[in-house]
Amino acid sequence: MPDKKQLSVLFATVASILAVAMAVATARHLSDKASEQSLQKATQTPCTAERMRALIADLDKDVVFHADISPAGEDLIDCGPPAIPFLLEVIERDDNEPDTRMIASRAARLIAIRYHGWELHADSEKNKPMKSWFNAHGRLHYDAPVEQRRKEAELWRKWVSATFPALR
């Protein structure tokens, strides 16, 4: 028969295991809820040109400190490839703040990454196709001179036009 000290250790171990299991279950539940909410949001609010213009107008609002994306940027990412032409306009314009262009650039790149099914933080071997694609199409450097930004935006427009004819 275990003594009080052994039982205490056993109960503490079981309690720790249960706490971890509950934390994992809660995290999964919250993740599932977030996915459901994301899906509901995407299906309830269609990504019309009018909505995307409104999101572009809010692109630099409610940005978390040191973040390179905003709630409007996340919504544009959820809109997918149709949002790219709107984002390219922001990147090309010289009257936009660099931070606003950074958010637009990040959103456009994340749309391309999602479209191709690449992993953002994959090892270098898995990233070869992504690196090659961005080398060919441009990285949408938000802080580059306007001529370079326009050149890269044009490469992206050609890709969008060739890949998504309905968006021409």
Position 38, amino acid: S
Q: What is the average pLDDT across 27-31?
A: 52
- The answer, yes or no, to whether residue 78 has pLDDT greater than 60, is yes
pTM over the 0.75 mark: no
Place of tokens 């191709």: 116
CB 164 within 8 A of CB 81: yes
Place of tokens 């269609």: 46
Helices (H) and strands (E) in the chain, counts: 7, 0
Position 102, amino acid: M
CB 104 within 8 A of CB 91: yes
- The answer, yes or no, to whether residue 33 has pLDDT greater than 70, is no
Residue 156 and residue 154: Cα distance in Å, rounded?
A: 5
Q: What is the average pLDDT across 104-127?
A: 87
